[in-house]
């Protein structure tokens, strides 16, 4: 059974009037670290419900948010999703939690899942953005490879060889995106290949924990190895044996991953070794109802 | 991968199959037989170790696990008559390990109780997601559930299963505090039809009929329904005893949901003792997932009958850990074993014909009907 925690919906308004929808879950105790969880591609705040429950029940505050130009309750549609906008979202959210919620960098951690790993690494490479700890879960390190593995064609290669080539609007996983917009933006930011991850990780001088899936069908593990070897502050590398990339469909491996994330951040903040409170499927089902209700309440009519 | 990673808990092969594989309906018949035999025998061994009553039962029947080696010998696994779940606590777990006590409708006064632990419930949910992904192939969908939410569904398995769809899709539940709101259902459908790629309406057949009758009475139609998928479950009899015609119900729905396709009118089979769902493909065949085997037995000899012949339905579901899901049901069924369907999938295909006793009709739909549907104004 999960313990009590409070919840606050925060809609951060950007200068252009667009809104980043966040959900802040916290326990009423002082000086608790805050873990920020950006939504992974295609997913929403609700997808990371179980991770939030794991963290909040073990002494952490959590802030989850929906990216703009994405699924969820922030402004914009997933059709217009770009990495640039996701990086800006993270930056705005991190500024907000420091400015408005008074968290210091030493109290902040980020969990980056799947494609969000690219977003977080890009954010963290700037000195002024450093937080206390970063945990990467099934992190994507080479967008070109991952996009090809998912979509079945090499969009990056096609665009690189001919800028005028029209990739069009079609699905990336379950939703349509504007591929020209998405890939062009990625190429402009030079985020398309493993080199960008190597460059980023060299500049990240905070503790990094990485949890990878042994049978990740969308991420090349040799490339993950190379990236992690380049990262001088890797504090832990763990592999989910037998798991593939889509952990949200796989509760067994997801639980293992969440337990490990919890152990990592507890270790980082020296939060002792008292026994862990591990929410179960019934907690998840009960809280899912509340999450769905909130999702509906804050749904944007656009 | 370099060897410097600390290894975390390994996912079992069965969990890999249930949670991660998207090719479960695309194996050859031989592969299906090999895989399910492996998992069902592992499950059988597990229950012999964990469940003392079941072990004694197997010993009493003189069943020796060593003598069961192949798919065609799996029918020798001791089956538990579904009625036993009404009178015995059939579980191998401790009380504190029970995540949910799942109950049948108990329309005849006796309620089956199935004790599910976390692993069993997670596998049910994971299997449901896998089967929905594999057979319905929906990406962006919104679900209108003509039933209650998980909380109101309580322990009643049928309603609970229907409500669990909210774990997969955004869902509105149209039974609230015991009342069905067809007006809200129509509003939800109209509001979401242009917003989502697919609309899924789920419910007992009687609830669909109730919805149709409300729409007809209030002179409402919905246009552009080619993206609506109707999922029925729970049986095709009304509380008053009369059978519901599937064909007629579809015709009626077609008259109010303009453009709805008959291939999108699908039925799902589940029972409280079964830890999987059997969902229809667009050719209206109910496919059995690879981790479960169904057997149709001669009512007298309890030996398997040839494909296509009627007999008593039994199933061996390897996904349940907290109780042996090796069950002899009260249903008369026909099956085709490891059949390549016209839809392209290969699996056991099951067709429920009727209940063993006519006066003991499928309870879940009856309970839903009696509880939520209006008793006047039906002309079926």
User: CB contact, 8 Å: B150 with chain A?
Assistant: yes
User: CB contact, 8 Å: A163 with chain B?
Assistant: no
Question: Which of A236, A253, A289 has the CB atom closest to B11's CB atom?
Answer: A253
Nearest residue on chain A to B98, alpha-carbon basis = A282
How far, in Å, CA of B292 to CA of B123, rounded?
Answer: 12
Mean pLDDT computed over A175-194: 97
For residue B377, the model assigns a pLDDT of: 37
Question: Which of A239, A292, A295 has the CB atom closest to B8's CB atom?
Answer: A239
For residue A244, the model assigns a pLDDT of: 97
Q: Which chain A positions have a beta carbon within 8 Å of B22's beta carbon?
A: none
For residue B358, the model assigns a pLDDT of: 45
Question: Which of B2, B8, B167 has the CB atom closest to A285's CB atom?
Answer: B167
For residue B361, the model assigns a pLDDT of: 41
- 8 Å CB contact of B167 and A252: no
Question: Which of A222, A252, A282 has the CB atom closest to B15's CB atom?
Answer: A252
- 8 Å CB contact of A280 and B171: no
Q: At what angle do helices A194-203 and A116-124 cross, to 10 degrees?
A: 40
In the predicted structure, residue B237 carries a pLDDT above the cut 90: no
Q: Please name which of A27, A209, A201 lies closest in space to residue A110, comparing C-alpha atoms.
A: A209
In the predicted structure, residue A24 carries a pLDDT above the cut 50: yes
Q: Please name which of A139, A105, A102 lies closest in space to residue A122, comparing C-alpha atoms.
A: A139
- 8 Å CB contact of A286 and B151: yes
How far, in Å, CA of B163 to CA of B149, rounded?
Answer: 5
- Residue B63: partners with Cβ closer than 8 Å, 6 or more residues away: B76, B77, B78
The token pair at A18 is 């667009």
* Number of inter-chain CB pairs under 8 A, A vs B: 103
Residue B278 pairs in a beta bridge with B269
Residue A154 — very low, low, confident or very high, per pLDDT cuts 50/70/90? very high
Alpha helices in B193-321 (DSSP H): 205-217, 246-256
Give the mutation candidate from A243, A282, A298 for the B interface (greatest B CB count, under 10 A).
Answer: A243
Residue B243 — very low, low, confident or very high, per pLDDT cuts 50/70/90? confident
- 8 Å CB contact of B171 and A292: yes
8 A C-beta contact, residue A103 and residue A131: no
Question: Which of B15, B99, B139 has the CB atom closest to A282's CB atom?
Answer: B99
Mean pLDDT computed over A114-120: 98
Residue A10 pairs in a beta bridge with A22
User: CB contact, 8 Å: A212 with chain B?
Assistant: yes
Q: Please name which of B247, B234, B246, B268 lies closest in space to residue B361, comparing C-alpha atoms.
A: B234
Mean pLDDT computed over A38-43: 96
Query: Greater confidence, B58 or B355?
Result: B58
Instruction: State pTM to two decimals.
Output: 0.92
8 A C-beta contact, residue B270 and residue B128: no
Residue B234 — very low, low, confident or very high, per pLDDT cuts 50/70/90? confident
User: CB contact, 8 Å: A257 with chain B?
Assistant: yes
User: CB contact, 8 Å: B10 with chain A?
Assistant: yes
Residue B60 — very low, low, confident or very high, per pLDDT cuts 50/70/90? very high
In the predicted structure, residue B271 carries a pLDDT above the cut 70: yes
What's the mean pLDDT when you consider all of chain B? Answer: 91
Nearest-10 Cα torsion for B20, B24, B28, B32: 90
User: CB contact, 8 Å: B1 with chain A?
Assistant: yes
Query: What is the ipTM score, two decimals?
Result: 0.91
Alpha helices in chain B (DSSP H): 13-15, 29-50, 52-60, 84-87, 118-131, 150-153, 157-163, 182-192, 205-217, 246-256, 363-372
For residue A28, the model assigns a pLDDT of: 87
In the predicted structure, residue A63 carries a pLDDT above the cut 50: yes
User: CB contact, 8 Å: B101 with chain A?
Assistant: no
- pLDDT digit string, tens, across residues B101-160: 999 876 666 899 999 999 999 999 999 999 999 999 998 899 999 999 999 999 889 889
- 8 Å CB contact of A249 and B12: no
For residue B219, the model assigns a pLDDT of: 96
For residue B239, the model assigns a pLDDT of: 67
For residue B108, the model assigns a pLDDT of: 62
For residue A2, the model assigns a pLDDT of: 62
What's the mean pLDDT when you consider all of chain A? Answer: 95
In the predicted structure, residue B373 carries a pLDDT above the cut 70: no
Q: How far is CA A254 from the centre of its chain?
A: 15
The token pair at B155 is 């322990």
For residue B367, the model assigns a pLDDT of: 63
For residue A18, the model assigns a pLDDT of: 97
8 A C-beta contact, residue A73 and residue A295: yes
Maximum pairwise Cα distance, chain A: 59
Q: Nearest CA of chain A to the CA of B134: how many Å?
A: 13
- 8 Å CB contact of B166 and A292: yes
- pLDDT digit string, tens, across residues B144-200: 999 999 999 998 898 899 999 999 999 999 999 999 999 999 999 999 998 999 999
Counts for chain B of helices (H) and strands (E), in that order: 11, 17
**b/e code B309-329 from CB counts within 10 Å (16+ = b):** ebbbbbbbbbbbbbbbbbbbb
- pLDDT digit string, tens, across residues B304-362: 999 999 999 999 999 999 999 999 999 999 999 999 999 999 999 999 998 776 444 45
Q: Please name which of B345, B331, B335 lies closest in space to residue B283, comparing C-alpha atoms.
A: B345
Q: Nearest CA of chain B to the CA of A17: how many Å?
A: 23
How far, in Å, CA of A126 to CA of A121, rounded?
Answer: 9
Q: How far apart are the first and last CA of chain A?
A: 38
Nearest residue on chain A to B143, alpha-carbon basis = A292
How far, in Å, CA of A207 to CA of A137, rounded?
Answer: 14
In the predicted structure, residue A301 carries a pLDDT above the cut 90: no
Alpha helices in A125-278 (DSSP H): 143-151, 155-161, 179-188, 194-203, 221-230, 251-268
User: CB contact, 8 Å: A175 with chain B?
Assistant: yes
Helix, strand, coil percentages (3-state) for chain A, rounded to 5, are: 45, 20, 35
CA angle centred on A243, ends B162 and B168, rounded to 5°: 20
Mean pLDDT computed over B243-259: 93
């Amino acid at each position: 059974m999960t313990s009590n925690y409070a919840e606050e919906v925060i809609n951060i308004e950007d200068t252009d009037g667009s809104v980043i929808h966040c959900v802040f879950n916290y326990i009423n105790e002082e000086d608790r670290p805050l873990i920020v969880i950006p939504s992974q591609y295609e997913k929403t705040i609700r997808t990371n419900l179980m991770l939030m429950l794991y963290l909040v029940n073990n002494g952490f505050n959590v802030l989850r948010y929906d990216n703009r130009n994405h699924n969820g309750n922030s402004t914009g549609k997933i059709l217009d999703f770009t990495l640039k906008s996701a990086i800006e979202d993270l930056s705005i959210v991190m500024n907000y939690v420091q400015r408005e919620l008074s968290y210091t960098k030493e109290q902040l951690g980020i969990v980056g899942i799947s494609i969000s790993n690219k977003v977080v690494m890009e954010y963290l490479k700037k000195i002024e953005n450093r937080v206390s700890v970063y945990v990467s879960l099934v992190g994507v390190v080479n967008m070109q490879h991952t996009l090809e593995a998912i979509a079945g064609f090499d969009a990056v290669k096609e665009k690189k060889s001919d800028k005028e080539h029209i990739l069009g609007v079609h699905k990336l996983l379950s939703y349509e995106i504007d591929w020209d917009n998405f890939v062009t933006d990625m190429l402009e930011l030079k985020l398309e290949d493993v080199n960008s991850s190597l460059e980023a990780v060299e500049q990240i001088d905070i503790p990094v924990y990485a949890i990878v899936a042994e049978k990740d069908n969308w991420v090349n593990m040799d490339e993950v190895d190379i990236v992690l070897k380049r990262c001088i502050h890797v504090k832990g590398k763990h592999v989910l044996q037998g798991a593939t990339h889509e952990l949200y469909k796989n509760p067994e491996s997801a639980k293992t991953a969440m337990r490990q994330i919890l152990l990592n951040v507890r270790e980082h903040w020296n939060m002792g070794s008292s026994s862990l409170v591990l929410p179960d499927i019934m907690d998840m089902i009960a809280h899912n109802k509340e999450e769905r209700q909130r999702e509906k309440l804050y749904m944007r009519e656009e | 991968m370099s060897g410097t990673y600390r290894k975390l808990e390994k996912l079992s092969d069965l969990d890999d199959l249930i949670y991660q594989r998207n090719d479960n309906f695309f194996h050859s018949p031989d592969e299906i037989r090999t895989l399910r035999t492996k998992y069902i025998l592992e499950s059988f061994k597990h229950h012999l170790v964990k469940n003392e009553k079941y072990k004694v039962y197997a010993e009493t029947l003189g069943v020796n696990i060593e003598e069961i080696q192949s798919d065609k010998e799996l029918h020798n696994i001791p089956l538990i008559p579904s009625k036993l779940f009404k009178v015995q606590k059939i579980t191998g777990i401790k009380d504190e390990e029970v995540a949910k006590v799942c109950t049948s409708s108990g329309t005849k006064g006796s309620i089956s109780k199935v004790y599910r632990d976390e692993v069993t419930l997670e596998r049910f949910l994971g299997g449901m997601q896998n089967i929905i992904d594999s057979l319905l192939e929906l990406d962006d969908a919104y679900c209108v559930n003509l039933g209650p939410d998980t909380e109101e569904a309580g322990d009643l398995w049928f309603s609970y299963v229907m409500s669990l769809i909210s774990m997969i899709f955004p869902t509105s539940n149209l039974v609230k505090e015991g009342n069905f709101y067809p007006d809200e259902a129509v509003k939800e459908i109209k509001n979401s039809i242009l917003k989502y790629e697919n609309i899924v309406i789920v419910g007992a057949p009687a609830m669909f009929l109730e919805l149709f009758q409300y729409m007809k009475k209030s002179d409402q139609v919905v246009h552009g329904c080619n993206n609506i998928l109707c999922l029925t479950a729970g049986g095709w009899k009304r509380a008053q005893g009369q059978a519901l015609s599937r064909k007629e119900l579809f015709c009626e729905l077609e008259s109010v949901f303009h453009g709805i396709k008959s291939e999108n009118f699908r039925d799902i089979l589940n029972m409280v003792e079964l830890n999987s769902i059997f969902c229809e493909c667009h050719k209206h065949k109910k496919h059995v997932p690879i981790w479960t085997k169904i057997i149709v037995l001669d009512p007298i000899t309890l030996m398997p009958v040839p494909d296509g012949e009627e007999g008593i339905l039994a199933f061996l579901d390897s996904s349940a850990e907290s109780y042996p899901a090796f069950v002899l049901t009260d249903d008369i069924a026909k099956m085709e074993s490891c059949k390549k369907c016209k839809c392209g999938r290969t699996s056991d295909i099951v067709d429920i014909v009727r209940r063993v006793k006519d006066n003991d009709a499928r309870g879940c739909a009856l309970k839903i009907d009696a509880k939520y549907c209006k008793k006047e104004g039906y002309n079926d």
